[in-house]
Structure 1
Amino acid sequence: MSTILPEAAVSASDVPVKPARRTADLVAAGLLTPDAAAAVESVTRRYAVSLTPYVVEQAAQSPGGPVYAQYIPTPEEAYTAPGENGDPIGDDVHSPVKGIVHRYPDRVLLKPLHACAVYCRFCFRREMVGPGGDALTADELAAALAYVREHPAVWEVVVTGGDPFLLAPRRLAEIVQGLAAMGHVGVVRFHSRVPMADPARVTAELVAALRAPGLATWVAVHVNHADELTPETTGALARLADAGIPLVSQTVLLKGINDSAAALENLFRGLVRHRVKPYYLHHPDLAPGTSHFRPTLDEGRALVRSLRGTVSGLCQPTYVLDIPGGHGKAPAAGEWVSPTAEGWEAADFRNQKHIYKD
């Protein structure tokens, strides 16, 4: 990363910690020098910046470290590599109504909003999310829920976005109760960065809103490095787990942040220790301006192989490649993805083959 670091980050004890939503805020927080802020101004006009006060404090404790590098913009983001595009996993082609993505027969994504508490620099939806991003109106949410109701093959609803934990508990409860009233829906799964980025938001009221009789609620937490497992964030995880909500994790394999066996071991063991089952290790998607985060598939496969026998099966997620073009996920460590003369051949869940180029 080429970000110019300040000589000393501002201590949380020096000034009240505020959210950072502009480059000027990052300078004020001691996270960028003025020169570095000027160097990324064009980047931040295109891709949203937002750090919660909690993340500002965590990033300031270790400038250039694994938390800092996930959230602070760099000049490298201005470069769009060949193959990168604004919808790298093909959500749009599988969206029959606003807020719904129906890629697999038995499950849908429900995206009630496009805002997040924080904006990761490697986000695969970075062209679609941002402050003031689209949220479904009451009529649009009703139409999205009606789509689920009218498709009895849908057994699982994945609520994502954006970050659904930004919704008020009342609105979360309305979604959960609406799904629980549909006899064919058995599982609702929430995907959220909030437990890691704004753990105080995971209140007893929010946790209670996630549950309804007759519906199994799961939460998938986005976490990329063991440094994110602090007393505050593990407390948020405990509030969810103690309420009987099963927890899984999603991790993105990121060059310079967690692309070592030691970093992954520490993260996955830490998650299991706090009752979170590592679920997916994502190969980074081909989102614009993210090539500096992306290891090669060969590197990722070697890392995953190195974990076999080193950590418990409980600590082993599935390493997955989201096949560009909307074809779904392929396990990337085994026979589903194989090298060819053209690059890599990835088999989707229908065993149709697609070429992927690093």
Structure 2
Amino acid sequence: MRKFFTDVPQELWRSYHWQIQNRIKTKEELKRYIRLTPEEERGIDQTTGLYPMAITPYYLSLMDPEDPQDPIRLQAIPRAVEVDERVQSMGEPDPFREEGHIPGLTHRYPDRVLFTLTTFCAVYCRHCMRKRIFQEGERARTREEIDRFLEYVRRHEEIRDVLISGGEPLSVSNEKLEYVLSNLRKIPHVEIIRIGTRLPVLAPQRFFDEELLHILEKYSPIWINTHFNHPKEITQESAEAVERLLRHRVPVNNQTVLLKGINDDPQVMLELMRGLLRIKVRPVYLFHCDPVKGALHFRTSLEKGLEIMEYLRGRISGMGIPTYAVDLPGGKGKVPISPNYILSVSGDTYTFKSPLDGIVEYTIRDAELY
């Protein structure tokens, strides 16, 4: 798994700080490892200053240097299409109205609040729903900003669930992370803390830090929501990161995004879901790609997502089937989308399409009628 970096000592390769300090950020650096296509070269040049590039050595090592359609390359290396006039003319920088009166705070659902702790990412994913923050530079929220967020949560007793996201929230120091978590845990009405992080995929070495793991365990219940998109991202290192989290009482859920040319194939999605269960990660959501400016070339049709959901049903246990969902523009929330297995209804008799093939008639009566 250390392709391109076999000369790097094991203790450095397993260091999160080494991975971050040695991110590949320029075309010249990347060309040492990857035979770039003209489209990729133009993409890097044309997105500079708008949608920057940064790739950890670990994530780079997952790429096929000879395949321009490699799913890791498509997620991490800019393409000129991102700034194509047609793509730029569609979508919005903030389609879900996340930006509010307190920097980094979104309170969309009554019992839940989102706080983006940083604009920094280990890898700048080309399909990112918060691609707009790439232009803000790499920074973490100040203590003053964090305190304003905490005060907001204290005042709103309806908040039960806090999601800490970014950027990459676990890129902050252990000290800053503990400051946030410890103060949230002092608020009586906060029951659950979730952390949205892609580090199990992009730099799993972060979870080889025992101090971090003890902090997460200390302020339990904490849930990790991560973001595997392709079976190639499930590696020995990512499996180790998940195992370490679980041993410290931190469950791990996954939110996949349906991406054209990357995972919009039923068999690829089935392999991904099976792989996630194998490393004890629970697939929760399959999100339809968001209408984000600079990322619309990754969108598929809803029909493609429904085709994939139908394919999964009957081929993997229920706990491996995510909820296919669309996040509605304007901050109107997520809605689940699923295939319709009811073909017709006649009185109490329902005609179903079976996921195992065939048509089944089934009479279902209300208990009061028996």
TM (normalized to structure 2)?
0.82
- Taking a change above 3 Å as real, the CA distance of residues 37 and 14 of structure 1, as seen in their structure-2 partners, is farther
Contact 2:62 2:232 in 1 (8 A): no
Contact 1:24 1:37 in 2 (8 A): no
The residue that corresponds to 2:217 in the other structure is 211
CA distance in 2, matches of 1:141, 1:147: 10
Select the residue among 4, 10, 28 that pairs with 1:11. Answer: 4
Shift of residue 90 of structure 1?
1.8
More moved, 183-192 vs 199-208: 199-208
CA distance in 2, matches of 1:61, 1:272: 29
Select the residue among 198, 203, 206 that pairs with 1:198. Answer: 203
Letter in 1 for 2:94: D
CA distance in 2, matches of 1:150, 1:35: 51
The residue that corresponds to 1:97 in the other structure is 102
- Taking a change above 3 Å as real, the CA distance of residues 34 and 170 of structure 1, as seen in their structure-2 partners, is same
- Taking a change above 3 Å as real, the CA distance of residues 15 and 218 of structure 1, as seen in their structure-2 partners, is closer
Shift of residue 127 of structure 1?
1.3
What secondary structure sits across from 1:25 in the alignment?
helix
Instruction: Spell out the pairing of 1:1-358 with structure 2 (5 A cutoff).
Output: 11-13=4-6, 18-32=22-36, 36-60=40-64, 63-64=67-68, 65-79=70-84, 80=87, 82-92=89-99, 95-129=100-134, 132-202=137-207, 203-213=209-219, 215-333=220-338
What secondary structure sits across from 1:271 in the alignment?
helix
CA distance in 2, matches of 1:59, 1:131: 28
Letter in 1 for 2:186: A
Superposed CA offset, 1:119-152 (max 9, x none): 1011111111368334211111101011011111
What secondary structure sits across from 2:217 in the alignment?
coil
Letter in 2 for 1:150: R
What secondary structure sits across from 2:225 in the alignment?
strand
Superposed CA offset, 1:273-293 (max 9, x none): 111110111100011122221
What secondary structure sits across from 2:53 in the alignment?
coil
Contact 1:88 1:286 in 2 (8 A): yes
What secondary structure sits across from 1:325 in the alignment?
helix
Superposed CA offset, 1:163-211 (max 9, x none): 1110111211111111111110000000101111111111211111223
**Higher gyration radius (CA):** 2
- Taking a change above 3 Å as real, the CA distance of residues 35 and 24 of structure 1, as seen in their structure-2 partners, is farther
Shift of residue 332 of structure 1?
2.3
Shift of residue 83 of structure 1?
3.8
What secondary structure sits across from 2:147 in the alignment?
helix
CA distance in 2, matches of 1:31, 1:167: 33
Shift of residue 39 of structure 1?
5.0
CA distance in 2, matches of 1:314, 1:115: 33
Structure 2, unmatched stretches of 5+, are 10-18, 341-370
What secondary structure sits across from 2:194 in the alignment?
strand
Contact 1:50 1:117 in 2 (8 A): yes
CA distance in 1, matches of 2:284, 2:39: 40
Contact 1:44 1:73 in 2 (8 A): no
CA distance in 2, matches of 1:190, 1:35: 35
CA distance in 1, matches of 2:231, 2:125: 17
Contact 1:86 1:125 in 2 (8 A): yes
CA distance in 1, matches of 2:67, 2:173: 33
The percentage of counterpart residues that share the same residue type is: 35
TM (normalized to structure 1)?
0.85
What secondary structure sits across from 1:210 in the alignment?
helix
- Taking a change above 3 Å as real, the CA distance of residues 39 and 171 of structure 1, as seen in their structure-2 partners, is closer
CA distance in 2, matches of 1:43, 1:98: 26
CA distance in 2, matches of 1:45, 1:138: 27
- Taking a change above 3 Å as real, the CA distance of residues 241 and 130 of structure 1, as seen in their structure-2 partners, is farther
Shift of residue 20 of structure 1?
0.8
Structure 1, unmatched stretches of 5+, are 1-9, 336-358
CA distance in 2, matches of 1:187, 1:198: 25
Superposed CA offset, 1:198-230 (max 9, x none): 1111121111122335x4100011110111011
Shift of residue 99 of structure 1?
1.9
Q: Pairwise CA RMSD of aligned residues?
A: 2.1
Contact 1:43 1:73 in 2 (8 A): yes
Count of residues paired in the alignment: 323
